[in-house]
Copies of this chain bind each other. A is one copy, B any other.
Amino acid sequence: MTSIKDVAAEAGVSVATVSRVLNEHPSVSEDARARVLAAVASLGYRPNAVARSLRTDQTHTLGLVISDVLNPYFTELARSVEEEARALGYSVIIGNADERPELQDHHVRTLLDRRIDGLLVSPTDGGSPLMLDAARAGTPMVFVDRWIPGVDVPVVRADGRGAVRDLVVHLYRLGHRRLAIIAGPAATTTGQERVEAFREALEECGLDLPDQYIGQGDFQAASGRRATERFLDLAEPPQVVFAADNLMALGALDAVRARGLRVPDDIALAAFDDIRWFVHTDPPITAIAQPTGELGRAAVRALVDRIEGRAPRSVTLPARLVVRRSCGENPATNRSQS
C-alpha cells in the first residue's frame, strides 16, 4: 500500500505538506498543491483511515446495534440510519443482537474497541453493565425505538399509544370483545408499553385484559406461534390477537393456518409495525405503522449533534393505524387502506 511518504517523495515535498493539501489547510502554495495532487492521482493514493483515526481520535463511524436484522422493521431502520449518516459524513457499522443480550454486549464491546464516535442502540434488555458504563463514561449514545429508563441518553422513538387506542376502537366497533395480545419481552420498553397502551385502551372501552389473554413473546416468529396456539387452546379463545411486532404476527398466522382456521372469520389479527408484505398476506393485515425512516434519520441527527458538541434532543413521533382486512370487514374504514 502506498503511504503518505510515497506521495511526498513523488511530489518532492514533505509529508506535512501532503497532509496539508489533503486536509485543505490554507497555507499551501498553488505549486505544491498541484504537485501533490498529481502525485496522489498517479500513485492512486488513498489515506489510511486507521492511521488517521489513531492520530485524530475520530473514526467518523457510528455503531448501530439493532435487535434483529431479519426483522423488516429494523432493516428499514438500519437503512435510513446509514443513509442519513452518509449524508453527514459518517459510516455505520451494524451489529445484530438477534434479541440476545450477550450478543448485544459482544457488539457493543467490539464497537467500543474500534473507537466508534457514537453508538445507536435499540436495547434487547434492561441494559448490561457494559452499556451503562459506556453511557456514564461519556460515549455519545442515543437509543432508538427501545430505551432504558433511568439512563441519561436521548431517545428517538415512536409513540404508539394513540394508534393502539384507534386500533382498539376499530376492533370494538367491529364487535370484538375478547382481545388478546402477544407481548414482547418485559425487559424491553416496547415490550411493556404496547401491553400497557393496549390495556388502557381496552379499559376506555370498558373491556378487561385477563392474564390468559396476555401471551409472552420475544419478538420472534416462533414465540408468536406458541402464544397463539395457547390462545386457541383456551376454553374461550380470544376473538382478536394483537401481535406486538410483525414477526410474532407471522408466527400467529402460522399457528392459525396450521389449525385450519381462517383470519378474520375464525380469529382476527393485528400487528404492531407495518411492513410491505402485510398488503399481500392472506388476508392483508391491519397494522400500526411507525415512521421508521424518520426515526432513523432523527436518531442519527441526535447522535451527530451529541458527537459534534451540540445539544441532542429526544424525539417522539406518532405511529398511526393502517386498517386492512385481517380484523373483519368494515366498509367505513376499509377505504383508508393502502
Contact = CB atoms under 8 A, between A and B. Distances in A.
A114 B59 CA distance: 10
A8 interface: no
A96 B114 contact: no
A53 B114 CA distance: 10
Nearest to A103: B86
A20 interface: no
A70 interface: yes
A313 interface: no
Dominant secondary structure at the A interface: helix
A221 interface: yes
B93 A93 contact: yes
A94 interface: yes
Query: Which size bracket describes the interface of A in this complex?
Result: 35 or more
A284 B277 CA distance: 12
Given A54-B54, A277-B277, A280-B282, A78 B69 contact: yes
Nearest to A281: B280
Contacts of A1: 115
A230 interface: no
Interface string A243-283: 00000001001100100000000000000000011011111
Copies in the complex: 2
Contact of A96 (B47, B79, B282): B79
A234 interface: no
A78 B115 CA distance: 23
A109 interface: yes
A51 interface: yes
A48 interface: yes
A91 interface: yes
A151 interface: no
Interface string A108-126: 0110111100000000000
Contacts of A283: 282
Contacts of A279: 254
A250 B282 CA distance: 14
Interface string A86-102: 10000101101000000
A106 B79 CA distance: 15
11 contacts: A49-B110, A50-B53, A50-B54, A50-B114, A70-B72, A70-B75, A79-B96, A91-B93, A93-B93, A281-B281, A282-B282
Interface of A: 1, 44, 46-51, 53-54, 59, 69-70, 72, 75-76, 78-79, 82, 86, 91, 93-94, 96, 106, 109-110, 112-115, 133, 221, 250, 253-254, 257, 276-277, 279-284
Given A48-B54, A277-B277, 5 more contacts: A46-B113, A50-B54, A50-B115, A250-B276, A253-B280
